[in-house]
């Protein structure tokens, strides 16, 4: 573990940006995540910034101050763009140098304070765009608890498919419909077939669901035909965001065999604006938990390092806000799930390595979804289909309402954070989406 830690993780560090020193802050100086932003309603170009407390350090403006040098200055120039792709392509050493330089420049007493003070923009005054140009999006299925819970609904006697414990299951999603937090979308339409109906109908989904996931952003890629070994997999990961892969369960039930999800998944995937770097997450590494009696991974997916610290203890929760709640209090919501990424059956490194073992080339800005991150108990289930046992047991909300699946006007928020004794708490911000009524089918 100590090999992953450096001076940027020191919990005693404080910033000259006062809001970064407030207890419980998502964005202390030990975090420094990246996002693409501009001032709300302005005609300014999008640019990359780093969160510090309730402020954003505008990296385009910071690059013009000339207070950074050497490799950090090179990385800062690459970051002075509308998206992170150019910085991602530079590779891990450059990312690390930039993080160190930013950490030193934002600390109390830093000589760069006077130059950088004018580069701050309040987060309350901005709007966000996707942090990277996403060339490809692959969604995995890394939670054995989710896979078992879903399987039990359809195959009570054989809930887990035999390949699950051997291979990281995934499918290719639709990058064009990945949207940023706060961008609302219409309820999807598609073919739906009731069990006793003679034929399907084209209709709006009645079983619209969430999927609590994390998004893994690829940094530097690999050459076509050249796999990424497990020992190098994390060097290709730039950072992690929150991800909600909205799912239309009734459309999915009719279409998913034999080739898997299609219209049930490709209408919208929401991600949070802030990408937390893998380096910032170093203190929160955890052992990979896998029962000794389970099949052990094939050699290309196994290593002592992956077993000892391949998992990440990222705390996750889901909040639901109905229209009725919002009418009484714009901030009201009900927490419906709390879990941790450490329960995943397959690690981030195993996802990257398996994705490329056949020679597939990943590129800067590619996005990998972890799949729904359910934990071992029902209150840790990351999808409504699990929480309600397929709609049979509605959720009882604090205001007296019930939900089996999402209704028009419902808003869902994902949150994530890491905390551990002896280290600073860091957060991911939030990931919001609201369901609008379906548009008229064709």
Q: For residue 58, is it within any domain?
A: yes
Model confidence at 320, pLDDT cuts 50, 70, 90, reads very high
Residue 158 has pLDDT above 90, yes or no: no
Inter-residue contact 395 to 258 (CB < 8 Å): no
Residue 60 is labelled as binding a ligand: no
Residue 265 is labelled as binding a ligand: yes
**What's the CATH number where 33 sits?**
2.30.30.230
Q: Which of 128, 160, 190 is the last residue of a domain?
A: 128
Whether residue 74 is found in the same domain as residue 150: no
Whether residue 338 is found in the same domain as residue 415: yes
Whether residue 74 is found in the same domain as residue 219: no
Whether residue 164 is found in the same domain as residue 244: yes
Residue 1 has pLDDT above 60, yes or no: no
Residue 187 is labelled as binding a ligand: no
Catalytic residue from among 9, 146, 343, 355: 146
pLDDT value of residue 84: 98
**Choice among 58-72, 147-161, 403-417 with the minimum mean pLDDT:** 147-161
The domain in which residue 202 lies consists of 137-436
pLDDT value of residue 74: 96
Q: For residue 41, is it within any domain?
A: yes
Q: For residue 77, is it within any domain?
A: yes
Residue 3 has pLDDT above 90, yes or no: no
Residue 223 has pLDDT above 80, yes or no: yes
Known catalytic membership, residue 146: yes
Whether residue 330 is found in the same domain as residue 277: yes
**How many Å apart are CA 345 and CA 348, to the nearest integer?**
10
φ, ψ (nearest 5 deg) of residue 39: -65, 140
Residue 277 is labelled as binding a ligand: no
**How many structural domains comprise the chain?**
2
Whether residue 256 is found in the same domain as residue 291: yes
**How many Å apart are CA 367 and CA 74, to the nearest integer?**
25
Residue 366 has pLDDT above 80, yes or no: yes
**How many Å apart are CA 226 and CA 357, to the nearest integer?**
8
pLDDT value of residue 153: 87
Residue 96 has pLDDT above 70, yes or no: yes
**Lookup: tokens for 404:** 């089996």
pLDDT value of residue 232: 98
The overall average pLDDT reported for the chain is 96
pLDDT value of residue 304: 97
Residue 213 is labelled as binding a ligand: yes
Q: For residue 266, is it within any domain?
A: yes
Residue 81 is labelled as binding a ligand: no
Q: For residue 442, is it within any domain?
A: no
Q: How far is CA 227 from the centre of its chain?
A: 24
Q: For residue 185, is it within any domain?
A: yes
**What's the CATH number where 314 sits?**
3.90.850.10
pLDDT value of residue 354: 98
Residue 269 is labelled as binding a ligand: yes
Whole-model pTM above 0.95? yes
Residue 191 has pLDDT above 60, yes or no: yes
Q: How far is CA 399 from the centre of its chain?
A: 29
Whether residue 64 is found in the same domain as residue 101: yes
For residue 190, which of 198, 202, 200 has the smallest C-alpha distance? 202
Whether residue 122 is found in the same domain as residue 231: no
Q: For residue 441, is it within any domain?
A: no
Model confidence at 156, pLDDT cuts 50, 70, 90, reads confident
């Amino acid at each position: 573990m100590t090999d992953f830690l450096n001076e940027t993780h020191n919990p005693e560090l404080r910033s000259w940006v006062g809001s970064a020193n407030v207890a419980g802050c998502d964005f202390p100086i030990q975090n420094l995540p990246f996002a693409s932003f501009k001032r709300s309603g302005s005609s300014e170009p999008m640019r990359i910034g780093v969160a510090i407390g309730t402020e954003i350090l505008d990296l385009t403006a910071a690059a013009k101050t000339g207070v950074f040098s050497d490799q950090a200055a090179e990385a800062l120039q690459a970051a002075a763009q509308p998206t992170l792709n150019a910085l991602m392509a530079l590779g891990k050493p450059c990312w690390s140098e930039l993080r160190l330089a930013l950490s030193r420049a934002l600390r109390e007493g830093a000589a760069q304070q006077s130059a950088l003070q004018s580069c701050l923009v309040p987060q309350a005054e901005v709007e966000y765009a996707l942090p990277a140009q996403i060339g490809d999006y692959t969604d995995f299925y890394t939670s054995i608890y989710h896979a078992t819970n879903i399987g039990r609904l359809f195959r009570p006697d054989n809930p887990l498919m035999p390949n699950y414990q051997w291979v990281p299951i995934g499918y290719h999603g639709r990058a064009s419909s990945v949207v940023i937090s706060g961008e609302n979308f219409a309820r999807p339409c598609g073919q739906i077939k009731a069990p006793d109906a003679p034929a399907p109908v084209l209709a709006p989904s009645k079983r619209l669901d969430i999927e609590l996931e994390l998004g893994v952003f690829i940094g530097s890629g690999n050459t076509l035909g050249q796999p990424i070994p497990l020992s190098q997999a994390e060097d290709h990961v730039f950072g992690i965001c929150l991800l909600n892969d909205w799912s239309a369960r009734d459309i999915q039930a009719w279409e998913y065999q034999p080739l898997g999800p299609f219209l049930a998944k490709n209408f919208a995937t929401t991600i949070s604006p802030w990408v937390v770097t893998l380096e910032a997450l170093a203190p929160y590494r955890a052992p990979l938990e896998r029962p000794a009696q389970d099949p052990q991974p094939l050699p290309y997916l196994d290593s002592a390092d992956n077993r000892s610290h391949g998992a990440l203890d990222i705390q996750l929760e889901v909040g639901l806000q109905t229209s009725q709640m919002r009418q009484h209090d714009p901030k009201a919501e009900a927490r419906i799930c709390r879990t941790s990424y450490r329960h995943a059956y397959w690690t981030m490194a195993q996802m990257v390595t398996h994705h490329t073992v056949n020679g597939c080339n990943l590129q800067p800005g590619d996005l990998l979804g972890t799949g729904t991150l359910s934990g071992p108990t029902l209150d840790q289930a990351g999808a409504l289909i699990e929480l309600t046992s397929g709609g049979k047991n509605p959720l009882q909300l604090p205001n007296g309402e019930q939900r089996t699946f999402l209704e028009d006007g419902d808003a869902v928020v994902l949150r994530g954070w890491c905390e551990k004794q002896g280290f600073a708490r860091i957060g991911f911000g939030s990931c919001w989406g609201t369901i609008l009524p379906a548009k008229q089918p064709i």
